[in-house]
Amino acid sequence: MQVNDGSKDNTSEIAKNLNVNVIDLPNNLGIGGAMQTGFKFALRNGYDIAVQIDGDGQHNPDYLNDILKPVIENKCDMVIGSRFIEFGKTGFQSSCFRRLGIKILSFAIKLTINFKITDPTSGFRAFNKKVIAFFAEDYPNDYPEPESIVMLIKNNFKIIEAPVIMSERYGGKSSISSIDSIYYMIKVLLAIFIDCFKYR
């Protein structure tokens, strides 16, 4: 199932021609709104597992089994595909500035909720039925990847990471420009600290 978050290209039509279920949102709701739409659809249709894959080509479907297996075997509630464990520097690595930002977010999450995560911004994830129901009701809008981790840990869900190799994006562009990166980092860190008190 694909959520078309107000896209103006022909991705929606291509997906429909391939018999993919597509939800066309009338307005751009951002990552958080699009994700929650997907969770609501999954819950309404009785999905046992949902997988998040970004639409920019960075996530290799060859690793689907690696992130699905722990969920299927009931070892956790959510799996995050991490580019920073096991494979080291194999595959595409983002800029030094972005990697520094990811490390800062990892440290902030460790500091606030005592949970070690190597790739908090990864959008390659698998969720079980309990997480689907939880996120269908409430999903962060501003900084969904790191904030959703805080939400789940604060509500006693279990998260693990699985090693994956990511590719350089072949389509689209990041929503965060280099000029806005510092401002973004300050805001997301504040959001993480606030979430520690908000999600109990």
Q: pLDDT tens track of the chain, all 200 residues?
A: 889 888 888 888 998 999 998 999 988 898 899 999 999 999 999 999 999 997 776 888 899 999 999 999 999 999 999 999 875 545 555 657 778 888 999 999 999 999 999 999 999 999 999 999 999 999 998 889 999 999 999 999 999 999 999 876 555 555 544 556 677 788 888 988 888 777 65
What does pTM read for this prediction? 0.85
Looking only at the bridges linking them, the beta strands covering 159-163 and 78-82 are: parallel
| 194-to-52, 112, 121, 147, 199 alpha-carbon distances in Å | 25, 10, 18, 10, 9
Domains of the chain: 2-198 (3.90.550.10)
